[in-house]
Amino acid sequence: MLRFVLQRLFHAVAVLFTVVAVSFAVMRAAPGSPFDTEQPLPPAVVANQARVLGMAEPVVASAEGRLASVSVGPGQSVGAGQIYALLDGGVPLRAPEDLTVFRVVAAPGATVGDGAPVLFKRTGFVEELFTTVGSWARLDFGVTVRSQGTRTVAQNLAEGLPVSAELGLYGLVVALLLALPLGVAAGARPGSVWDRAVSAGLLFGISVPSLVLAPVLVAVFIMGLEWFPPHGGWEPGLFHGMSKKALPVLALALPYAAVFGRLVRDGLAAQVNEDWFRHLAAKGLPLRVALIRHALRPALVPLVTYLGPALASLLTGSFVVERVFQIPGISRHFVDSALERDYPMVLGVVMVYSAVLVVANLAADLLHAWLDPRVRAESA
């Protein structure tokens, strides 16, 4: 079992690094940059983001004085020793090496000190990647571009993630409470009228995603019947403000409950049709005992296999549900930041989701091994 756990841990780390590398490459290849905003960012913000993301390194002044002119701009190449700026008095500032200009942070007329950054040079992809991974390993995601450097990515995640996790926890509990009884009741007697009715309901639930279900719940129960208060706002804390949390939880839980129920139903029906189960029934073992003691555990294997990615999606919240019900989870940061090219915030959300997904899959693998001894035997 220890070897199985170590193998899964190694795979989890490898997958997480791959997700980081691919996400980073996509962001780096996208047009523009986090610093291409309508309002110029303060030099301190640019310096912080360049350091955390590893996108650029400073090129500093070799003397103190007032900047008279800057002769280069973003994207331009500068050869080693070439003049890139002038100080009053004709003191030239020369590039220490061949470089590509990433961002100019000192404007003409500004006073710069000896060793102060005038511009940033673009770094290579590998160097940029490992600098970023090193910053993330220290849980330093930098500051958000949208806030003009007044808020960090970690602060936004610390505020939004507990809300999304609470919503996902409610959704998981509700989905399992609905799925397990329905799936067991239908799978215990495959082909019966009850099985057909439950299967039809589960198929309908699978076919209606949260994107459709959430607005329908708002229209029916808030705007039509007025059974719930207008949506919006979120009271932190378990079981606080449940009148505003009920509909978002249902919108998130019902599609997953349908999938969970179908997996339980199919898994149990497969066990009931096995010869060994018929043998138990022929020997007079009550159906309830045969189901609970012998058939239910292997029947849950398909559900456990699917539970990993489902759990990650639930705990990080549904972007659609959070947007429809105006829930202040992490989805608002992801969507708004993607539209405004706030790459540090987007990458921070991707990192959190990937980490939760990897951990959830690892937990699902361990639970699968506990339910099915053949998995442990194969890894031994």
Query: Per-domain residue ranges for the chain?
Result: 21-143, 155-379
| CA 76 – CA 62 distance, rounded (Å) | 21
Q: How confident is the model over 218-246, as pLDDT tens digits?
A: 888 878 877 777 765 677 767 777 777 88
d(CA 80, CA 99): 8
Task: Return d(Cα 77, Cα 121) in angstroms, integer.
Answer: 9
Q: 8-17, 196-205, 279-288: which has the minimum mean pLDDT? A: 279-288
Predicted confidence at residue 375, as pLDDT, reads: 59
Cβ–Cβ < 8 Å for 101, 78: yes
Q: 155-379: CATH homologous superfamily?
A: MetI-like (1.10.3720.10)
User: Is 70 exceeded by the pLDDT of residue 317?
Assistant: no
The pLDDT value recorded for residue 316 is 67
Q: Rounded CA gap, 244 and 241, in Å?
A: 6
- The predicted pLDDT at position 164 comes to 85
pLDDT band of residue 109 (cuts 50, 70, 90) is: confident
Tokens of 196: 């057909």
pLDDT at 178: 92
Counting beta carbons within 10 angstroms of the beta carbon of residue 279, is it exposed (0 to 12), middle (13 to 18) or buried (19 or more)? exposed
> Which three-class secondary structure state does DSSP give residue 102?
strand
Share of the chain above pLDDT 90, in %: 3
DSSP 224: I
Q: Give the integer Cα–Cα distance in Å for 363 and 305.
A: 10
Residue-level pLDDT at 103: 79
Residue 254 has pLDDT above 70, yes or no: yes
Cα–Cα distance list, 279 to 9, 190, 191, 274 (Å): 40, 17, 20, 9
* pLDDT classification of 377: cutoffs 50, 70, 90: low
Q: Over range 118-141, report the average pLDDT.
A: 78
Name the CATH code of domain 21-143 (choices 3.90.870.20, 3.40.640.10, 2.40.50.100, 3.90.260.10). Answer: 2.40.50.100
Beta carbons within 8 Å of 201's beta carbon, 6+ residues apart: 182, 258
**Model confidence band, residue 372 (pLDDT cutoffs 50, 70, 90):** low
C-alpha closest to that of 262 among 186, 161, 157:
186
The alpha-helical segments, DSSP class H, found in 189-283 are 193-207, 210-217, 242-272, 275-282
| Burial per residue of 180-212, b for 16 or more beta-carbon CB atoms within 10 angstroms, e otherwise | bebbbbbbbebeeeebeebbeebeebbeeebee
Compare 12 and 4 and report the one with higher pLDDT: 12
CB 326 within 8 A of CB 156: no
Look at 56 and 166; give whichever has higher pLDDT.
166
Instruction: Look at the alpha carbons of 35, 41, 42, 48 in this order and tell me if their dihedral is positive or negative.
Output: negative
Identity of the highest mean pLDDT range in 86-95, 102-111, 325-334: 86-95
Distance CA 317, CA 333 (A): 12
Angle formed by the axes of helices 210-217 and 242-272, nearest 10°: 140
What is the greatest pairwise CA distance in the chain?
103
The answer on pLDDT for 2 being more than 70 is no
Q: Is residue 378's pLDDT more than 70? A: no
User: How much is the average pLDDT of 105-127?
Assistant: 83
Question: Residue 380 pLDDT > 60, yes or no?
Answer: no
Angstrom distance (rounded) from CA 329 to CA 317: 7
pLDDT at residue 43 greater than cutoff 60: yes
Which of 175-179, 251-255, 297-301 is predicted with the least confidence, judged by mean pLDDT?
Answer: 297-301
Distance of CA 287 to the CA centre of its chain: 43
pLDDT for 47 equals 64
Is there a contact between 287 and 281 (Cβ–Cβ < 8 Å)?
A: yes
The answer, as to whether pTM is greater than 0.95, is: no
